[in-house]
Structure 1
Amino acid sequence: MFRVVTPKNDQEFEKYFAFRWQYLRQPWNFPPGSEKDEYEQVAEHRMIVNSEGEVVACGRVHMNTAEEAQIRHIAVHSAYHRRGLGQMMLGALEAVARDQGAIRAVTNSREISIPFFSSCGFVIEREAPTELGLLKRQQMVKKLTDLSSLVLHPKWCTELQKTWSETIPITEHMGIKLHQYTGKTLETRASLNKNINVHGTMFAGSIFSLATLTGWGMIFLQLKEKQLEGDIVLGDGDIHYHKPITMRPRAKCNIESLSGKFSILESNKKCKITLQVNILDDDTPVAEFKGVYWILPGKEASDAKRT
């Protein structure tokens, strides 16, 4: 299981910068310290850690102007390539940029990284200054205002939001919105003001609802990815709360947490899917939800609707 975290203390920043140097500077024989520049104090830093707390990816974003964010220093551990962590990190940095008011993002990409950024919606604008006087780069740009820059498969995501609104009215009352879908990770958010208790924190029941709907939504989108159909129902759910939510409720479900065989649906049999949803207050993990869902195919789904 992977999660995006913000380094907060000296020990976490030491791990973060060591990782950045190892993957972005050491291969070209630059000394420790060369991974840092004059923007570190004004930038937002993120890293992805695995279930053991080890850093497996990193990235940074800072504002060039009130409307332009610059994304830099994305790196992924060599043992974790092709697992969607680059997209996961980029998505997190773009979310930070949007929250700070950016309407476009720029990155100075080396030749080897151009295909990655192109696949994520960036286009080459012009040649950029070489990095450390050695590494040739291209400046790439992406608008952050288009729906397609926020989610993969925007039509599916629009359909999911509409399905929630029409068939699960609580989503409207709670202000639950799909925030980002990368194909690997689904993130939803809820309005704290619509779910606040007398203590100024989010209702525990609202947190549980946000988690179950996020898991439901991830399965909905995976069915679309696999060109399958079925009715999704929650079989069982278990949540562990660690801290209250006082700022910004977020829920994230990563495809790595899904377990089950969607292919069973092709035999007109119900399919069991288990998954995990992580709940955060802004960037602070506050709860984990583990859910068991059933997907009812064909005739069984129709019978379930009538009963």
Structure 2
Amino acid sequence: MITAKAPDTPELLEAYFYFRWLHLREPWNFPPGSEKDEYEQVSEHRILIDEEQHIIACGRVHLNTSEEAQIRHIAVAPEYRGQSYGQAILAELEQVAMDLGAVRAVTNSRETSIAFFESCGFEIEREAPKELGSLNRQQMVKRFDGKNSPLRHPDWCNELQQTWEDTIPISQHMGIKLKRYTGYRLEVAASLNKNVNLHGTMFAGSVFSLATLTGWGLIFLQLKRLQLEGEIVLGDGNIHYHKPVTLKPSAVAELTSLEGSFTKLEKGKKCPLTLTVEVLDDTKPVAEFVGQYWILPPKRNTNKKA
């Protein structure tokens, strides 16, 4: 599973700076050390790491003013490009910026990355100073106005939330809310107060339902991305409870844990998918759910006009 975090050990911090140099400075023949500047100590740094603690993406954010955040040094390892990890690390940095009180974010983009930032809601504002003395850049800005949040495809997310509330009544009773969607990772929260048992912890059945809906939601968003239609049903589900939920229940599903192909659905056949969902209590993993989902193709209208 791919995890987003700060490089919070000396080893990870060293690996983070090396990753930055390798992908953002070495291609231009700049020596190690050129990847650092005077803002490192006042910045928030984020990385995406795999299960073996290998960095696959990185980025940095710091405040220019109390309202403006500067995003820099986004890089993704070549073998992971084109899989939404760039959007994922950018979404992490945007969330940090908003947590720090920023109402807008700016970045100085090279020509080759303008399309990427535009797809994530940034707009060109003006020409920026050259990078490394020779590379042309444009300053781009994104305003956090509620409609322009770190949610990828907020229209899809709103539709998912509404679908839960309209067609799965238990979601409202549980306080199910879509928390974040980065393009590859979906985070869903629930209310502990609405799901508490006599021990002051979350009902085991509610934990199962939260995990099931989170997996269902990620598949729903994938159908949107692939421009496919189908009815998502749970065929089988197994969950392992490690610890009780006592604080802030949430669940996370990532595309990296999705097994199966949508090819059958494209051919009008039912499509089996297996997905792993991690349940958290605040930031601590407390349960793991593995669901066997089926996507049923839309029913064809066989009624003929007289």
TM-score class, shorter = 0.7 to 0.9
**77-86 vs 235-244, which deviates more?**
235-244
Deviates more, 1:103-112 or 1:229-238: 229-238
Paired position in structure 2 for 1:256: 256
Does the alignment pair 1:64 with 2:64? yes
CA distance in 1, matches of 2:98, 2:220: 26
In 2, Cα distance between equivalents of 1:140 and 1:160: 30
Q: Does 1:3 align with 2:6?
A: no
- 1:24-103 equivalences in 2 (<5 Å): 24-103=24-103
Give the Cα–Cα distance (whole angstroms) in 2 for the partners of residues 209 and 257 of structure 1.
Answer: 19
Give the distance between the partners of 1:23 and 1:97, measured in 2 at CA: 24
Q: Give 1:36-185 correspondences, 5 Å limit.
A: 36-185=36-185
CA gap 1:39/1:293 in 2 versus in 1, 3 angstroms: same
Kindly tell me: are residues 18 and 198 of structure 1, through their superposed partners in 2, closer, same or farther at Cα, counting changes over 3 Å? farther
Q: Distance in 2 between matches of 1:281 and 1:36?
A: 36
Q: Which moved more, 1:230-239 or 1:12-21?
A: 230-239
- For 1:184-195, what aligned pairs fall within 5 Å after superposition? 184-192=184-192, 194-195=194-195
Q: Is the 8 A contact 2:215 2:276 kept in 1?
A: yes
Give 1:202 shift. Answer: 5.5
TM-score, length basis structure 2: 0.83
Matches of 1:45 and 1:243, distance apart in 2: 30
Structure 2: segments with no counterpart, 5+ residues? 301-306
Q: State how far apart, in whole Å, the 2-side matches of 1:247 and 1:132 are.
A: 47
User: How many percent of aligned residue pairs carry the same amino acid?
Assistant: 64
Correspondence 1:197-236 to 2 at 5 A:
205-236=205-236
Distance in 2 separating the partners of 1:175 and 1:129: 47
Instruction: From the two aligned structures, give the one with the greater helix fraction.
Output: 1
Deviation at 1:192, TM superposition (A): 4.9
**Root-mean-square deviation over aligned CA pairs:** 3.0
Bigger drift between 290-299 and 82-91 goes to 290-299
Classify 1:101/1:206 alpha carbon distance in 2 versus 1 (closer, same or farther; 3 Å). farther
Q: How does 1:288-299 map to 2 (within 5 A)?
A: 288-298=288-298
Give yes or no for contact 1:258–1:273 (8 Å, CA) kept in 2. Answer: yes
Relative to structure 1, the CA distance from residue 129 to residue 287 in structure 2 (aligned partners, 3 Å threshold; closer, same or farther) is farther
Do the aligned residues in 1 keep the contact of 2:88 with 2:183 (CA within 8 Å)? no
When normalised by structure 1's length, the TM-score is: 0.83
User: Cα offset for 1:114?
Assistant: 1.6
Distance 1:199 1:95, change over 3 A: farther
Shift of 1:116: 1.4
CA–CA distance in 2 between the matches of 1:53 and 1:71? 24
Query: Aligned-pair distance for 1:12?
Result: 1.7
Amino acid at match of 2:293: Y
Q: Any conservation in 1 of the 2:87–2:182 contact (CA below 8 Å)?
A: yes
1:89 is displaced (CA, Å) by 0.8
Shift of 1:126: 1.6
Q: For 1:63 and 1:34, locate their aligned partners in 2 and report how far apart those are by CA, in whole Å.
A: 21
| Counterpart-to-counterpart distance in 2, 1:132 and 1:265 | 49
Closer/same/farther in 2, CA of residues 8 and 248 from structure 1, 3 Å limit: farther
- Unmatched tracts of structure 1, length 5 or more: 301-307
Instruction: Out of 261-270 and 167-176, give the one that drifted further.
Output: 261-270
Contact 1:5 1:283 in 2 (8 A): no
| SS of residue in 2 equivalent to 1:105 | strand
Per the alignment, residue 305 of structure 1 pairs with: none
Structure-1 separation of matches of 2:45 and 2:196: 29
1:241, 1:77 → 2: CA distance?
34
Aligned 8 A contact 1:242 1:287 in 2: yes
What number of residue pairs does the alignment pair up? 300
Cα distance, 1:171 vs. partner?
Answer: 2.4
